[in-house]
Chains A and B, each alone.
Chain A
Amino acid sequence: MRELAQQMAFSRAADTDALFTALVHRQSRFVFRVAWAMLRNVQDAEDVVQETFLRIHRSGSELRMDDERAFLATTAWRLSADRRRRQKKDVEVPELTDYAPDRERAAVSADLNARVGRLVDALPEELRQPLVLSGIEEMTSPEIARVMGIPEGTVRTRIMRARQLLKERLAHA
């Protein structure tokens, strides 16, 4: 009887491990992209991916997740936001108002993507975050709203405002 209970415990542990391994293989790139969009640093983003999966593994949430993409994205987003807040105390990110067209023009390289990237980095956080999350593979407005904990309409408005600002900046550059 005791052996049977032990065997069942072992097989349950093996099942959980297999589930977790499959989850990591399936979603680690997606989680990395969420963290990367927030942090813009490969090492930091990989640390957040590890922390996200470790939290899920230690709490046993891999067995209870309804929508794994939303759950993982929310966890990764919160951890990244915490990390970014800590980093921001050391390095101040330039605000959009600091970007004069002349300075921007002077810094323009041939690469248009790099230029847009700099403009995106200079957006206020409340506009930048929904915009970059919307750029990640198939993340919809409802998903972003769930991740950020704000209404869906607000997400759409912020994305629209961010795009409008970027277009204005690009048109002037």
Chain B
Amino acid sequence: MRNEPDLDQILDSALAAYTNQEPHVGMEARVLRAARAPKAGRWRGWQFRRWRQQPSRCFLPCSRLRSPAPR
């Protein structure tokens, strides 16, 4: 073991450098945007009711109503 105090200093500065990494500039904005976005996945009850009230449309470009909304 040579120069014990020097090795300690080297280790301290190298460890500081090892953990010293900056994130990208937009990281905070990305986190906040993701938190405010509606949660994907299961539909809420009101979404389902609104969807059921919509009349189903023909898949052809004419977009005629195909049938009345299901009850």
Residues of A within 8 A of B (CB): 17, 20-21, 24-25, 28-29, 32-33, 36-37, 42, 45-46, 49-50, 53-54, 57-58, 112-113, 115-117, 120, 131-132, 134-136, 163, 166-168, 170-171
Chain B residues near A53: list those with CB within 8 A: 31, 35
Q: In the bound complex, what is the Cα–Cα distance between A115 and B24 (angstroms)?
A: 25
Q: Is the CB of A25 within 8 A of B28?
A: yes
Q: Is the CB of A168 within 8 A of B1?
A: yes
Chain A residues near B23: list those with CB within 8 A: 28-29, 32, 42, 45-46, 49
**Is B19 on the interface with A (CB-CB < 8 A)?**
yes
Given A37-B19, A167-B7; A28-B31 close (CB under 8 Å): yes
Chain A residues near B28: list those with CB within 8 A: 24-25, 28
Given A116-B15, A116-B18; A167-B27 close (CB under 8 Å): no
Chain B residues near A50: list those with CB within 8 A: 27, 30-31, 34
Nearest CB to that of B29 among chain A residues? Answer: A24
**What does DSSP make chain B's interface, helix, strand, loop or mixed?**
helix
**Is B50 on the interface with A (CB-CB < 8 A)?**
no
Given A53-B35, A58-B39, output 5 extra A-B contacts at Cβ < 8 Å.
A24-B31, A37-B19, A45-B21, A54-B34, A170-B10
Q: In the bound complex, what is the Cα–Cα distance between A50 and B11 (angstroms)?
A: 31
Nearest CB to that of B15 among chain A residues? Answer: A135
Q: How many B residues, CB 8 Å from partner? A: 27
Given A50-B31, A58-B39; A117-B18 close (CB under 8 Å): yes
**Is B67 on the interface with A (CB-CB < 8 A)?**
no
Sorted nearest first, the 6 A-B pairs with minimum C-beta distance are A116-B14, A135-B15, A135-B19, A113-B17, A32-B23, A57-B35
Q: Is the CB of B15 within 8 A of A46?
A: no
Q: Is the CB of B19 within 8 A of A33?
A: yes
Q: In the bound complex, what is the Cα–Cα distance between A25 and B31 (angstroms)?
A: 10
Chain B residues near A37: list those with CB within 8 A: 18-19
Q: In the bound complex, what is the Cα–Cα distance between A150 and B11 (angstroms)?
A: 24
